Chains A and B, each alone.
Chain A
Amino acid sequence: DTEVTQTPKHLVMGMTNKKSLKCEQHMGHRAMYWYKQKAKKPPELMFVYSYEKLSINESVPSRFSPECPNSSLLNLHLHALQPEDSALYLCASSHRFKGTEAFFGQGTRLTVV
């Protein structure tokens, strides 16, 4: 199984809502990533978890709250988002070795209204 599964595929939420994005992998990877991608731009790194601990936060606003409950799951909790947060949110995972590839999910298309 070389899949990273993200749910939901699409999400529309209001600015006062609280929602969560979910990411799952069963490849035994101990590094997991969240990226944000706006249209026609490259993915921007948001967070990295290493061995279920947050190791990198790229100065992301606190309205985005990541969580890694176990080695297979990664969540991104969303609260009080702005319309400019509308984007494709990508999850990825890899072994913790720089000579190995990362696997990406298909993303969650988020629209904030």
Chain B
Amino acid sequence: DAKTTQPNSMESNEEEPVHLPCNHSTISGTDYIHWYRQLPSQGPEYVIHGLTSNVNNRMASLAIAEDRKSSTLILHRATLRDAAVYYCILKDNTDKLIFGTGTRLQVFP
């Protein structure tokens, strides 16, 4: 299973942008990069995914490095409801979705 490395925790103030990094130096050419988040007392929630190009949706943006060895999840204006654990996951040709340790994001008013 391809590994990802994320910082254990990050902090942000409300209404500021947040950049959550993820390193995945062993990514293979066909692995998709997925991001999920888990709010307290809830199941994980899909955020965004991409293969090579940067992606935007209503929740966030995903910036993927040209060599694909790293990516960054961007929350454009953090809110208190964005406080969660964010997981960066590589999805390969199997059906496995393996969670790493994730980044705990704290958002301060």
By a beta-carbon cutoff of 8 Å, the part of chain A in contact with chain B is 4, 31, 33, 35, 42-45, 48, 50, 55-56, 90, 92, 94, 96, 98-107
Q: Hey, which chain B residues are within 8 Å of A50, CB to CB? A: 95
A90 → B minimal CB distance (Å): 5
The answer for the CA separation of A99 and B52 in the assembled complex, in Å, is: 12
Q: Is the CB of B43 within 8 A of A90?
A: yes
Q: Is the CB of B93 within 8 A of A98?
A: yes
Q: Is the CB of A48 within 8 A of B99?
A: no
Return the contact of B44 from the options A48, A90, A98 (Cβ within 8 A). Answer: A90
Q: Is the CB of A92 within 8 A of B97?
A: yes
Q: Hey, which chain A residues are within 8 Å of B30, CB to CB? A: 98
B contact residues, total (Cβ < 8 Å): 26
A42, closest chain B residue (CB):
B99
The answer for the CA separation of A98 and B31 in the assembled complex, in Å, is: 8
The answer for the CA separation of A42 and B91 in the assembled complex, in Å, is: 16
Q: How many A-B residue pairs have CB under 8 A?
A: 59
Q: Is the CB of B96 within 8 A of A104?
A: no
Q: Hey, which chain B residues are within 8 Å of A90, CB to CB? A: 43-44
The binding surface of chain A is classed by DSSP as strand
A48, closest chain B residue (CB):
B95
B108 at the interface (CB under 8 A from A): no
The answer for the CA separation of A101 and B100 in the assembled complex, in Å, is: 17
Q: Hey, which chain A residues are within 8 Å of B100, CB to CB? A: 42
The answer for the CA separation of A50 and B97 in the assembled complex, in Å, is: 13
Sample 27 A-B pairs with CB under 8 A, ordered by A number: A4-B43, A31-B95, A33-B97, A42-B99, A43-B44, A45-B96, A45-B97, A45-B99, A48-B95, A50-B95, A56-B94, A56-B95, A90-B43, A90-B44, A92-B97, A94-B95, A94-B97, A96-B95, A98-B30, A98-B92, A99-B49, A101-B34, A102-B44, A102-B46, A102-B97, A104-B44, A106-B42
Return the contact of A42 from the options B42, B96, B101 (Cβ within 8 A). Answer: B101
